[in-house]
């Protein structure tokens, strides 16, 4: 397996374990000093991966526009999510990862549109996007680990 996907697989497995080891109430709780909760951070990873890997490649995403809007950059939880939504997010963590590997192996990411990130790093191609995505998911996994201490 390509090392970039090995890293993402590890991150996604950590996030799946967090989902499995916390109640719906814990996933939805926003601790004092935080702007969001565990479930928002996990869903945000899915939405961002779809945006920077698929949308910037001019390809359709695997999630709804509503999902993308709800978990996009600078959004915040607008209320508690249901168990059904948690289950959907859990499924998407695996499904989007597996589909990305399949699509990468099929070389479907050919027309990448450059995108300057808020960190000043410009995504220029799919390889840079995949690398940056791992960084991004790592940051949010760290936030999830911090929130876990307070829920």
Q: What is the helix, strand, coil percentage profile of the chain, to 5?
A: 65, 5, 35
By residue range, what is the domain housing residue 129? 3-148
User: Between β-strands 115-116 and 122-123, what pairing exists: parallel, antiparallel or unpaired?
Assistant: antiparallel
Q: How confident is the model at residue 141, as a pLDDT?
A: 98
> Do the Cβ atoms of 9 and 1 come closer than 8 Å?
yes
Q: Which tens digit of pLDDT belongs to each residue from 40-57?
A: 999 999 999 999 999 999
**Domain harbouring 42, CATH code:** 1.20.120.450
For residue 92, count CB atoms less than 10 angstroms from its CB and return exposed for 0-12, middle for 13-18, buried for 19 or more. Answer: buried
Q: How confident is the model at residue 1, as a pLDDT?
A: 81
What residues of the chain score a pLDDT lower than 70? none
Count of domains forming the chain: 1
């Amino acid at each position: 397996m390509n090392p970039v996907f090995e890293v993402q697989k590890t991150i996604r497995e950590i996030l799946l374990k967090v989902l499995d080891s916390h109640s719906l109430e814990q996933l939805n709780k926003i601790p004092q000093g935080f702007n969001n909760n565990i479930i928002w951070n996990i869903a945000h990873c899915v939405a961002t991966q779809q945006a920077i890997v698929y949308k910037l490649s001019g390809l359709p995403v695997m999630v709804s526009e509503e999902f993308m809007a709800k978990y996009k950059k600078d959004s915040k939880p607008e209320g508690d999510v249901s168990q059904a939504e948690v289950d959907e997010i859990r499924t998407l963590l695996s499904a989007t990862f597996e589909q990305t590997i399949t699509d990468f192996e099929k070389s479907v990411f050919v027309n990448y549109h450059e995108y300057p990130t808020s960190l000043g790093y410009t995504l220029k191609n799919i390889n840079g996007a995949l690398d940056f995505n791992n960084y991004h998911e790592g940051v949010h996994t760290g936030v999830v680990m911090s929130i876990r201490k307070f829920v």
